[in-house]
A and B are shown apart, each in its own frame.
Chain A
Amino acid sequence: MPGYIPVIGLEIHAELLTRSKVFCNCSAEFGGDTNSRCCPVCSGLPGTLPVINETAVEYAVKAGFALGCSINKFSVFDRKNYFYPDLPKAYQISQLNLPLCINGLVPIEYEKDGEKHTHNVRINRIHLEEDAGKLTHNDLEGVSLADYNRCGIPLIEIVTEPDIGSAEEAKAFVEKVSLLLKYAGVCDCKMEQGSLRCDVNISLMKPTDTELGTRAEIKNLNSIKAIGRSIEFEIYRQAKALDMGQRIIQETRRFDDNRGETRSMRSKENANDYRYFPEPDILQVNITDDQLEGIHADMPEMPDKRLIRYMSQFGLSETDAGIIIADKEISDFYDDVVMAYNNPKAIANFIISEMMRRINLGEITIDDIKFSPENFAKIVELSESEQINKSNAKDVFRALIEKPETDAESLAKDLGYIISTDMGKVSEVIASVIATNEKAVEQYRNGEVKVFGFLMGQCSKALKGVATSKLIKDELEKALKI
Chain B
Amino acid sequence: MRSALDKKELSATELTETYLENIAKTDSKIESYVTVTADIAKEQAKAAQELINSGKSSPLTGIPLAIKDNICTEGVKTTCASRMLENFIPPYNATVMDKLNAQNAVMLGKTSMDEFAMGSTTQTAFEKKTKNPYDLNRVPGGSSGGSAAAVSARLAPAALGSDTGGSIRQPSSFCGVTGLKPTYSRVSRYGLIAFASSLDQIGPIANSAEDCGYLLNAIAGFDRHDGTSANRAVPDFTSKCGQGVKGLKIALPKEFFEEGATDFVRKTVLAAAEKYKSMGAELIECSMPSLKYAVPAYFLISSAEAASNLARFDGIKYGHRSEKGSTYGELVLNSRSEGFGREVKRRIMLGNYALSSGYYDAYYGKACALRQEIRAEYNRIFETADVILTPTAPRTAFRIDENITDPKMIYYSDICTVTVNIASLPAISTTCGYDENGLPVGMSIVGKMWDEETIIGVTDTFERNFTKISAKAVK
Give residues in A with beta carbon < 8 Å to B.
40, 43-52, 79, 81, 83, 85, 88-91, 144, 146, 273, 275-277, 280-283
16 other contacts beyond A49-B227, A146-B317, A281-B194, with CB at 8 A cut-off? A46-B72, A46-B80, A46-B313, A47-B71, A47-B193, A48-B190, A49-B225, A51-B227, A81-B355, A83-B314, A89-B312, A273-B356, A277-B305, A277-B360, A280-B196, A281-B227
Q: CB within 8 Å of A: which of B157-199?
A: 189-194, 196-198
| Chain B residues within 8 Å of A89, by CB | 311-312
The answer for the CA separation of A46 and B312 in the assembled complex, in Å, is 8
Q: Once the chains bind, are A275 and B355 in contact (CB under 8 Å)?
A: yes
Partner of B308, one of A48, A49, A79, A283: A79
Dominant SS at the B interface? loop
Contact present for A273 and B91 (CB under 8 Å)? no
- Nearest 3 A/B pairs, CB to CB: A90-B311, A275-B355, A280-B198
CB-based contact A48/B191 at 8 Å: yes
B304 interface residue (CB < 8 Å to A): yes
Contact partners of A44 in chain B: CB under 8 A: 312, 317
Given A45-B318, A47-B191, is A88 in contact with B197 using a C-beta cutoff of 8 Å? no
Q: Which of A51, A144, A277 contacts B355, CB < 8 Å? A: A277
Which residue of chain A lies nearest to B333 when distances are taken between CB atoms in the complex?
A: A83
Cα A85 to Cα B226 with chains together (Å): 25
Scoring A44, A48, A51, A88 by chain B CB atoms within 10 A of each residue's CB, the highest score goes to A48
Chain B residues lying within 8 Å of A85, measured Cβ to Cβ, are: 314, 316, 328
Quick check: B88 and A275 within 8 Å, CB to CB? no
- Roughly how many angstroms separate A44 CA and B310 CA in the complex, as a whole number? 11
Shortest Cβ distance from A52 into B: residue: B227
B442 CB, min distance to chain A CBs, angstroms: 28
Interface residues of B in 244-267 (CB under 8 A from A): none
In the bound complex, what is the Cα–Cα distance between A454 and B368 (angstroms)? 90
- Answer yes or no: B224 CB below 8 A from chain A CBs: yes
Could you list 11 A-B pairs, sorted by A, with CB under 8 Å?
A43-B317, A45-B317, A47-B70, A81-B355, A91-B308, A146-B317, A273-B357, A275-B357, A277-B308, A280-B305, A281-B227
Residue of A nearest to B364 (CB): A277
Interchain CA distance A280-B308 in the complex, whole Å: 11
When distances are taken between beta carbons in the complex, the residues of chain A under 8 Å from B360 are 275, 277
Residues of B within 8 A of A275 (CB): 307-308, 352, 355-357, 360
- In the assembled complex, the CB of A293 is this many whole angstroms from the nearest CB of chain B, namely 24
Q: Which residues of B contact A281 (CB under 8 A)?
A: 194, 197, 227-228
Given contacts A43-B317, A277-B364, contact A50 B227 (CB under 8 A): yes
Q: How far in angstroms is the closest Cβ of chain A from B457? A: 30
B197 contacts across to A, CB distance below 8 A: 280-281
CB neighbours of A280 from chain B (8 A): 196-198, 228, 305
In Å, the complex CA distance between A283 and B424 comes to 14
**Which residues on the A side are within 8 Å of B228 (C-beta)?**
49, 280-283
- Residues on the A chain within 8 Å of B311, using CB: 81, 83, 89-91
Q: A51-B225, A52-B227 are in contact. Are A46 and B355 (CB under 8 A)?
A: no
CA separation between A144 and B326, bound complex, in Å?
13
Query: Which residue among A40, A44, A88, A280 has the maximum number of chain B CB atoms within 10 Å of its CB?
Result: A280
B332 contacts partner chain A, Cβ-Cβ < 8 Å = yes
Of chain B, the residue at the smallest CB distance from A148 is: B317
Chain B 128-151: CB-based contact to A (< 8 A → 1; otherwise 0): 000000000000000000000000
A273 CB contacts on chain B under 8 angstroms: 356-357
Asked if A49 and B312 sit within 8 Å, CB to CB, the answer is no
Roughly how many angstroms separate A458 CA and B329 CA in the complex, as a whole number? 80
Within 8 A of A (CB), among B305-344: 305, 307-308, 311-314, 316-318, 328-329, 332
Chain A: CB-nearest residue to B226: A49
A280→B407 CA distance, assembly (Å): 26
A437→B51 CA distance, assembly (Å): 105
Whether A46 lies near B85 (C-beta < 8 A) is yes
Q: Are A49 and B189 in contact (CB under 8 A)?
A: yes
Residue of A47, A52, A79 with most partner-chain B CB within 10 A? A47
- B88-103 residues with Cβ-Cβ distance < 8 A to A are 88, 90-92, 94
* B213-261 at interface with A (beta carbon < 8 Å): 224-228
Report the bound CA distance from A273 to B359 in whole Å. Answer: 12
User: In whole angstroms, what is the CA distance A276 to B198 when docked?
Assistant: 15
Do A47 and B356 touch across chains, with their CB atoms under 8 A apart?
Answer: no
- Nearest chain B CB to A386 CB, angstrom units: 63
Cα–Cα distance between A377 and B72 once the two chains are bound (Å):
60
Residues of A within 8 A of B357 (CB): 273, 275
Interchain CB contact under 8 A, B194 and A283: no
With a cutoff of 8 Å between Cβ atoms, the chain A residues found around residue B307 in the complex are: 81, 275
Q: Which residue of A lies closest to B319 (CB)?
A: A46
- Chain B residues lying within 8 Å of A276, measured Cβ to Cβ, are 355
Q: Give the chain B neighbours of A51 by CB distance below 8 A.
A: 224-227
Q: What is the chain A residue whose CB lies nearest that of B88?
A: A46
* A interface footprint on B283-318 (CB within 8 Å = 1, 0 otherwise): 000000000000000000000110110011110111
Which chain A residues lie closer than 8 Å to B304 at the CB level?
Answer: 277
Q: Chain B's nearest CB lies how many Å from the CB of A48? A: 7
Alpha-carbon gap, A273 to B314, bound state (A):
18
Docked Cα-Cα span, A275 to B358, in Å, equals: 10
Q: How far is the CA of A277 from the CA of B92 in the complex (A)?
A: 28
* Chain B residue at smallest Cβ distance from A274: B357
Instruction: List, in ascending order, chain A residues with CB within 8 A of B94's CB.
Output: 47
Could you tell me the distance between the alpha carbons of A283 and B189 in the complex, rounded to whole angstroms? 14
Alpha-carbon separation in the docked complex, A79 to B352 (Å):
13
Report the bound CA distance from A89 to B316 in whole Å.
Answer: 11
What's the least CB distance linking A103 to chain B, in Å?
Answer: 25
How far does the alpha carbon of A189 sit from the alpha carbon of B217 in the complex, in Å? 49
Please name the residue on chain A nearest to B352 by beta carbon: A275
